[in-house]
Amino acid sequence: MDWQKLKGKFIVIDGPDGSGKSTQVKLLSKLMIDKGVPVLPLRDPGGTRIGEHIRGILLDNNNADMSVRCELLLYMASRAQLFSQRIEPALRQGECVLCDRWISSTYAYQAVAGRIGPEVVLKVADTALERSWPDLTIIVDLPSEVGLERISGTPDRMEQKGHKFHQRVRDAFLELADMRDDFEVIDGSSSIREVHRKICEVIERYVHS
């Protein structure tokens, strides 16, 4: 596999809470470095000074009264800052940007599970972002109850939304993946090493497509 073909590509690993996507971003980033690919690992929301402040507001359990539309706008604000400040410059320089979550999460959490509708989310994304969709999105899928059981420590504001909400999130990720050719779904219920292997297989197919 020619890993150098990943230079200048924007790849997202997404999925329900507890799916292990953050761990997988770290593993894939390390592998890319070992292969000599310049890589920028990021998280969404966050990744910038402004974005991290917004992340704190979004996940703070003291903000339980936050409306879904407010969530949507805050997520997009963080994302707009992340794209302009870090993602776009990195892509121009030929780095592979590897991001933990992106617009696929807002589709799942706010558009579907939060019930404000895909058309609202996608319209806001088109307005807020210079580029809405990555080159490749990998969804790490697993049952919502399994993911929620994996969460350690005190659940944040989004994690506390309940089983039915998180089941709708999972269904939305799978629905979106069915609609888009630039999405791949892998089973996240196996070991960390096995999930990493499956992600590498997806990357290899993408490079050779």
Q: Is 191 exposed, middle or buried (0-12, 13-18, 19+ CB in 10 A)?
A: exposed
pLDDT of residue 152: 81
Average pLDDT, the chain: 96
pLDDT of residue 77: 98
pLDDT of residue 50: 98
Q: Is 8 exposed, middle or buried (0-12, 13-18, 19+ CB in 10 A)?
A: middle
pLDDT of residue 202: 97
Q: Spell out, as residue ranges, where the chain has pLDDT lower than 70.
A: none
Tracing tokens 């470095």 back to the chain, one arrives at: 33
Q: Where are the domains of the chain?
A: 3-208
Q: What is the pLDDT of residues 136-173, one digit of tens each?
A: 999 999 998 888 888 888 889 999 898 899 999 999 99
pLDDT of residue 67: 97
pLDDT of residue 144: 87
The domain 3-208 having CATH identifier 3.40.50.300: the answer here is yes
